[in-house]
């Protein structure tokens, strides 16, 4: 295997780590005592440098999760694995090509995707030599004889194909986790085409950087991007009905987000028909 320093250095050159990682370090001895396993050194250093967040659609897990719902907690996720899947494993054994932690050599997840795919170690042999596996309960799994950092670097750099993951973005990124408020906006119809509306929105929030954009077989499209200096995550939706905007921002930025998005909507020659957070109407003074 490539040395820890070499693999991590290449990853950090490809994707800069955040200045202030979230939940990336703590009492590893206590964690390993609870798991009954030592963990690989490359992952500890990866987590210390990046913390909780996303490489594209890949969310790192951490044993030091401070989120109230423990949604990123590596240990709780690992401890629940067999109880979640015991019945399914009996019904569909072909989708379970590997044992599950805490079974000998079992899968131990260290990251997950929004599509329900887990990035795991196969806990066999010395921890620093553990191979990795990418596994989905609906589609089975694939083994890779490389560590966590090597797998991430190979995938994000485009040098290694990783089954069950979408093709990597042209320019990979890492977004550290932070609490965000989500506002969903429906736009009035107008004469400005959707592509121009998206361009205007990005110009008003510049500088921006691409995030993964998708289009389904029905022509419904979601263009994702980040307002870099503001650290806001946005999506522009077309084909679902009226054009829409989804903006996710730190709660303290509410006034700034409302002002900036409203100005962009006016420049589109449109207006906000509806703005909601959850099911509650918001920004009502901007909706007219």
Q: What is the mean pLDDT of each run of 10 residues along the chain (288 residues)?
A: 69 96 96 97 97 96 92 94 86 92 95 95 96 95 97 96 94 95 96 96 97 92 97 97 96 97 96 95 83
CATH number of the domain that 75 lies in?
3.40.1580.10
Both 148 and 28 in one domain: the answer is yes
Closest CA to 205 of 248, 173, 141: 248
Number of domains in the chain: 2
Is 36 in the same domain as 73? yes
Where do the DSSP E strands lie in the chain?
A: 53-55, 58-60, 107-113, 117-122, 132-136, 140-144, 174-176, 181-187, 208-210, 214-215, 221-227, 232-238, 244-249, 272-277, 280-281
Residue 158 shares a structural domain with residue 210: no
Contact 233, 184 (CB under 8 A): no
Statement to judge: residues 113 and 227 lie in one domain: no
Residue 55 sits in which domain range?
4-175
CATH of the domain at 248: 3.30.160.110
Residue 241 forms part of a structural domain: yes
For residue 188, is it within any domain? yes
Distance CA 142, CA 162 (A): 8
**Of 111, 140, 175, the domain-final residue:** 175
Q: Are residues 106 and 224 in the same domain?
A: no
Within a domain: 254: yes
Whole-angstrom Cα distance, residue 59 to residue 113?
Answer: 6
**Residue 287 maps to a domain:** no
Query: Would 286 be classed as within a structural domain?
Result: no
What is the model's pLDDT at position 286? 80
Report the alpha-carbon distance of residue 284 to residue 288 in Å, rounded.
Answer: 8
Task: Name the DSSP letter for residue 263.
Answer: H
Q: What confidence score (pLDDT) does residue 218 get?
A: 93
Instruction: Give the span between the Cα atoms of 193 and 198, in whole angstroms.
Output: 9
Residues ≥6 apart with Cβ < 8 Å to 71: 65
Contact of 77 with 84, CB cutoff 8 Å = no
CB–CB of 229/180 below 8 Å?
no
Contact 235, 223 (CB under 8 A): yes
- The last residue of one of the domains, among 175, 191, 214, is 175
Q: Tell me whether residue 288 is in a domain.
A: no
Rounded to 5 degrees, φ, ψ at 113 are -115, 165
Same-domain check for residues 109 and 163: yes
Cα–Cα dist 288/285, whole Å: 7
Are 210 and 155 within one domain?
A: no
Domain presence at residue 236: yes
pLDDT digits (tens, 9 = 90+) for 206-230: 999 999 999 999 999 999 999 999 9
Distant-in-sequence, close-in-space partners of 40: CB < 8 Å, separation ≥ 6: 121, 127, 128, 130, 147, 148
Q: In whole angstroms, give the CA distance from residue 104 to residue 98.
A: 10
Domain boundary among 156, 175, 194: 175
One domain for residues 161 and 221: no
Same domain, 89 and 163: yes
For residues 154 and 249, membership in a common domain is answered with no
Instruction: Look at residues 120, 109, 147 and name the one whose alpha carbon lies nearest to residue 10.
Output: 147
Query: Quick one: 47 and 186 in the same domain?
Result: no
Q: State whether 232 and 197 are in the same domain.
A: yes
Residue 235 and residue 233: Cα distance in Å, rounded? 7
Is residue 241 helix, strand or coil?
Answer: coil
What confidence score (pLDDT) does residue 288 get? 63
């Amino acid at each position: 295997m490539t040395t820890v320093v070499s693999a991590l250095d290449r990853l950090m050159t490809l994707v800069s780590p955040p200045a202030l990682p979230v939940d990336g370090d703590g009492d590893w001895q206590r964690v390993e005592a609870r798991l009954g396993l030592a963990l690989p050194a490359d992952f500890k250093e990866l987590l210390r440098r990046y913390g909780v967040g996303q490489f594209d659609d890949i969310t790192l897990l951490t044993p030091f999760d401070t989120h109230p719902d423990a949604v990123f907690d590596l240990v709780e996720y690992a401890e629940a694995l067999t109880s979640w899947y015991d019945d399914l494993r009996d019904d569909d054994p072909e989708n379970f090509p590997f044992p599950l932690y805490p079974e000998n050599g079992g899968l131990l997840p260290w990251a997950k995707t929004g599509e329900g795919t887990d990035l795991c170690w196969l806990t066999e042999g010395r921890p620093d030599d553990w191979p990795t596996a990418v596994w989905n309960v609906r589609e089975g799994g694939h083994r890779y004889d490389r560590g966590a950092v090597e797998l991430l670097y190979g995938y994000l750099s485009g040098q290694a194909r990783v089954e069950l993951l979408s093709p990597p973005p042209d320019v990979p990124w890492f977004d550290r986790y932070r609490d965000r408020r989500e506002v969903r906006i429906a736009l009035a119809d107008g004469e400005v085409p959707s592509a121009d509306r998206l361009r205007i929105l990005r110009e008003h929030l510049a500088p921006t950087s691409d995030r993964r954009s998708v289009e389904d077989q029905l022509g419904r499209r979601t263009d994702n991007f980040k307002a870099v200096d503001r650290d806001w995550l946005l999506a522009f939706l077309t084909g679902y009905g009226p054009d829409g905007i989804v903006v996710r921002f730190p709660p303290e930025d509410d006034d700034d987000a409302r002002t900036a998005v409203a100005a962009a909507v006016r420049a589109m020659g449109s207006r906000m028909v509806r703005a909601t957070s959850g099911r509650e109407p918001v920004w009502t003074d901007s909706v007219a």
